[in-house]
Structure 1
């Protein structure tokens, strides 16, 4: 039924578009499985090259294995890759493609400055499957090139002729390799406010409501309680560490904040948080704050088995009793023991850390 589906909010702009095109350890372009031999053959015939059938790995798996890689090519980055600084420093070669200077740039042996989202052409696919055309609004600085152009030049230097002359050429190739995109063209996207895939011969104007006509693929919703209710842990640990700490994003901080700090409203709100909580904060429910006699901005120790951190209290109606929340919007404020917990969270493993609060006298 219209309006009753799921719309996942991804952590990165165009993340869905990347998955559509096979930027995933488990999918080829168009969500073909990496075990699909026909899908591999289609790509090989189109590109006229033999492809290795290696299974994919995510960032954490690649960098945790000391023998997996010797070189790293990174387009922008997020928190996960920064957590592997020691391993990255051991690699033979680190190449970075980015539009902004950030903490990863200091790790790179070679930096290729690339155009930002307002300095070049391309498409973005948002979380409702809407493919939208982004067109150049300003000229980039001298020497700054679109990513596709840099990669095409690198391929040429390595003896491969990637016959791309514009972002539109790449979109044309995508439409030939990804069935859901086969009806998309720059001409269509220029005259419409985006089109939702599947956009093909059967759906030339896109598909507004996905799976509406396929009952076999509809979601079945099952009533369930809040998952934290089932998160029991050792009673002895619970005695010493009665709170369940969860770590996540802030409204005005996204990954390493390279773009957010250059966007007026998020930058303003982010700076306001820094003024109010210069050492970071831990959110606690009104009920627990009242029970412990804690006041707004009071300094406390958040103590886990392995380490502790000092933060200011932020009392919130959004937090359930027995829970604590720390947004990792200022990386240097959060010690290493929380980084491990964030990795577990992103792997969908245990997503809380037993802690206790202590007043700082």
Structure 2
């Protein structure tokens, strides 16, 4: 682990791993492109790369893994996973020259050139000529569940988790648990921005502040599933990403003055 999180504090042994910026390696993006990266900052003392920690444990158990660099691990992936057969570090690190569509490229005073590592993109099954797919029609539910809104539980990038929770520079960008409603639904339910509302799914209730958002569609409430407290997870109970919820505004009692009556 990177930090002594509450979970790590319960462990008998904590293995100090290096963060992604402290080591070299590779990653696969959502466009199926495998790219290599280099270490950007020095690693703290007594930390190791993930693969080196696993190899050391394997050696204690009697395994003989001849890994000395991240590229050696990638070579085994190349041989074991067909999609990564051509994604060796040698291919990933091969620079390409960016194709210029105009002459307006000025690099004066910069510390880099116009070369880049494109990496290797593995093909989808649909791009393979011998692929075939069975398409089946799924009829909709005859009677959709009744409720006030449809709960959609996305994930947000700045969730305050272990990877970014210790970074002071982005602390102001970390989302706080809240429920996002459209202006139309907020008005229909007599809710204002900042009000609290109770959301109920199958008898499970949760109270959250309301955020009125003009980008939220009508009939939908957005509650992120990966924020502190895992609000949406409690409502969904592991049943996918969507549910129908009932909404009730939380009423605040007016303050009553108890000051004694002034006599003239």
Bucket of the pairwise TM-score, normalised by the shorter protein: 0.7 to 0.9
TM-score (norm 1): 0.55
Alpha-carbon distance, 1:180 to partner: 2.9
Q: CA RMSD in A?
A: 3.3
Give the match for residue 247 of structure 2: 356
Question: 2-side partners of 1:171 and 1:139: how far apart?
Answer: 23
Question: 1-side partners of 2:19 and 2:143: how far apart?
Answer: 43
The answer on 1:178 being equivalent to 2:81 is: yes
What SS does the aligned partner of 1:318 have?
coil
Give CA deviations for 1:175-204 in whole Å, capped at 9, x if unaligned. Answer: 222233233332222233233344xxxxxx
What SS does the aligned partner of 1:343 have?
coil
What SS does the aligned partner of 1:128 have?
coil
Q: Is the 8 A contact 1:101 1:258 kept in 2?
A: no
Cα 1:102–1:219 shift into 2, 3 Å: farther
Q: Which has the larger radius of gyration?
A: 2
Q: Is the 8 A contact 1:128 1:196 kept in 2?
A: no
Give structure 1 stretches of 5+ with no counterpart. 1-97, 199-206, 275-279
Cα 1:247–1:100 shift into 2, 3 Å: same
Question: 1-side partners of 2:90 and 2:156: how far apart?
Answer: 38
Cα 1:314–1:188 shift into 2, 3 Å: same
Greater helix fraction, Structure 1 or Structure 2: 1
Question: 2-side partners of 1:358 and 1:188: how far apart?
Answer: 58
Q: Is the 8 A contact 1:283 1:319 kept in 2?
A: yes
Give structure 2 stretches of 5+ with no counterpart. 96-116, 253-264
Structure of higher RCO (CA pairs closer than 8 Å, 6+ residues apart): 2
For residues 101-116 of structure 1, the aligned pairs below 5 Å read 101-116=4-19
Question: 1-side partners of 2:129 and 2:42: how far apart?
Answer: 46
TM-score (norm 2): 0.73
The answer on 1:252 being equivalent to 2:190 is: no
Moved over 6 A (4+): none
Question: 2:148 aligned to 221, 242, 245, which one?
Answer: 242
